[in-house]
Amino acid sequence: MQFELDKLIRPNIKNLTPYSSARHEFTGKASVFLDANENASGSPLADKFNRYPDPLQWQLKFQLAKIKGVPAENIFVGNGSDEVIDLAYRIFCNPGKDNVIICPPTYGMYEVSGNINDVEIKKVNLTTDFQLDVEGILDAVDSNTKLLFICSPNNPTGNDMDREAVEILLNNFPGIVIIDEAYINYSKQKTFIQELTEYPNLIVMQTLSKAWGLAALRLGLCYASLDIIDLFNKVKPPYNINDASQQLGVEALQNINQVNEWIKEVVVQKEILIEELKQLSFVEKIFPSDANFILVKVKDANNLYNHLSGHEVIVRNRSKDVHCANCLRITIGTKDENSILINLLRSYER
């Protein structure tokens, strides 16, 4: 397959002259800034916060580049991964004309963002063992298909997608393949980031919200070719990542050993919880998980959900998702939180 990025881009995006901010137009050294209509007196919080942030977040990208082994120029930072998803629609999909493929059950924002952008959503369900239906996906492609979303490890099911299946799609899908690796830190499968040079149609999303524990900062990560990253930078708002998030993100990325310890503890706690769940008569199936959560099929998900929430323990009821009838998604908490959950589950059985 000959991949041609230029044919996938919306014409208005090709011709778009992006907004040029004050911090874009001057990048040298200066001591007096009178170009951005800022409050020169300062701010109630800190002097630095009266100035606009780096629009391209270079210090944060340099730290990420060290960890990921990817040039900083191949990284885009979004206001959460949801901004990355939305920008992909706005760059590649003509409203009312183009379509994308998603593979339910999967992360809900792929569909929501498509609906917001007036882009048709084609659904090719995962198989009953939550793997990609490669043939079904390729059969669903038409001349207006622009994007394919693959979540691996998948949310809400927790499992990795078969790597060979993903590679077949990368080689045969005519549009952009977006692999969402929000939970990759918990998986034994290696990231697809290192495949960027092999697949020009590949976008890999990650996040600092999960293993890195920075959900409140809203730092979504996108890795892609220089051409695709240039498009994201062209369309994004001028200052999409605030300075506080940038500073805290840089600081957090210097604590990789702590994060690795947290990941190990999640894996340990997950195995403990799985063993406890196996002892409960109302648990019908525990699905394999490569993430920091598990999907559990029970006899009556609604009743069990109400029992837990009535004791101020909240899980996610995924019963309405395809192939997920009577399934609860349970995030792995701390040792103490998991103990509370286990005791509540035992009391429910009695």
SS (H, E, C) 93-108: CCCCCCEEEECCCCCC
**Average pLDDT over every residue of 92-106:** 98
Residue pLDDT, tens place only, 214-236: 999 999 999 999 999 999 999 99
Could you tell me where in the chain the CATH 3.40.640.10 domains are found? 5-254
**Average pLDDT over every residue of 52-60:** 96
Distance CA 70, CA 331 (A): 30
**Average pLDDT over every residue of 114-121:** 98
Q: Is the dihedral of CA 138, 139, 142, 145 positive or negative?
A: negative
Q: Which residues pair with 298 in a beta bridge?
A: 283
From residue 55, how far is each of 198, 238, 285 by CA, in Å? 29, 6, 47
Could you tell me where in the chain the CATH 3.90.1150.10 domains are found? 257-349
Strand arrangement, sheet containing 219-223: 75-79, 219-223, 202-207, 176-180, 145-151, 99-102, 120-123
Say yes or no to pLDDT of 47 above 80. Answer: no
Tell me the pLDDT band of 24, cut-offs 50, 70 and 90: confident
Name the CATH code of domain 257-349 (choices 3.40.50.11540, 1.10.3720.10, 3.90.1150.10, 3.40.50.720).
3.90.1150.10
Please name the fold of domain 5-254: Aspartate Aminotransferase; domain 2 (3.40.640)
**Average pLDDT over every residue of 270-299:** 98
Q: Is the dihedral of CA 156, 158, 159, 160 positive or negative?
A: positive
Q: What percent of the chain has pLDDT over 90?
A: 90
**Average pLDDT over every residue of 85-103:** 98
Asked if 113 contacts 36 with a C-beta cutoff of 8 angstroms, the reply is no
Say yes or no to pLDDT of 340 above 70. Answer: yes
Average pLDDT over the chain reads: 96
**Average pLDDT over every residue of 290-300:** 98
Say yes or no to pLDDT of 35 above 90. Answer: no
What interhelical angle do 301-310 and 335-349 show, nearest 10? 120
Confidence at residue 87, expressed as pLDDT on a 0 to 100 scale: 98
Say yes or no to pLDDT of 1 above 70. Answer: no
Strand arrangement, sheet containing 283-286: 283-286, 293-298, 327-331, 316-317
Q: Which residues pair with 296 in a beta bridge?
A: 286, 328
